[in-house]
Structure 1
Amino acid sequence: MNYVYILRCNDDSLYTGWTNNLEKRVKAHSNGKGAKYTKARLPVELVYFEEYENKVEAMRREYAIKQLKRKEKLMLIKK
């Protein structure tokens, strides 16, 4: 499976990414070995994710979520 996920960072910002191993990726972010963005904003919390059959679908969805405004992302998380 492939996953699109949103993390809430320590400064209350949101980070969106994709992976094929959600548990491992969130752990990497939490240990400061994920993205440069999250490394400077620890700790992080997984607040949302979606599953996809293939990488292309997940990457398209990641891009779509990244185009959303913060308010729209928060509404997505609340659902």
Structure 2
Amino acid sequence: MQQSYVYILKCSDGTYYTGVTSKLTQRLFQHDIGFYPDCYTCKRRPVTLVFYAEFTDINFAIEKEKQIKKWSKAKKEALIKGDYDDLPNLAKKKFN
């Protein structure tokens, strides 16, 4: 069974990029060299790998990638830091 990875990169402008791949090392190299000129990270290099998680089911990995992409920057940073207890509170909307 092939491993899949959801990963988060921190870009030079302070933003985060979330992706999914089955070849993490190769994909990181592609981000580093700007292999895909139209990719979000190409003009925001250098990038740094700040988080990744392994999955045995590519469909579940894709589902998690889509979920994380919708998260706020604060929630992504809590995930990156391993502050898992903070994640539910960061999902709540703030009303004035």
Quote the residue 2:59 is aligned against: 56
Quote the residue 1:23 is aligned against: 25
Q: CA deviation at 1:54?
A: 1.5
Between Structure 1 and Structure 2, the one with more strand by share is: 1
Q: Which runs of 5+ in 2 are unaligned?
A: 83-96
Question: When the two structures are superposed, what TM-score results if normalisation uses the length of structure 1?
Answer: 0.96
Question: Does 31-40 or 6-15 show the bigger shift?
Answer: 31-40
Indicate the percent of aligned positions where both proteins have the same amino acid. Answer: 39
- The separation in 2 between residues aligned to 1:68 and 1:11, in whole angstroms, is 18
- The separation in 1 between residues aligned to 2:13 and 2:35, in whole angstroms, is 18
Q: Which has the larger radius of gyration?
A: 2
Question: When the two structures are superposed, what TM-score results if normalisation uses the length of structure 2?
Answer: 0.79
Q: How many residues align?
A: 79
Q: Which runs of 5+ in 1 are unaligned?
A: none
Relative contact order (C-alpha < 8 Å, sep 6+): which is higher? Answer: 1
- After the TM superposition, list the runs of 4 or more consecutive aligned residues in structure 1 that deviate by more than 4 angstroms: none
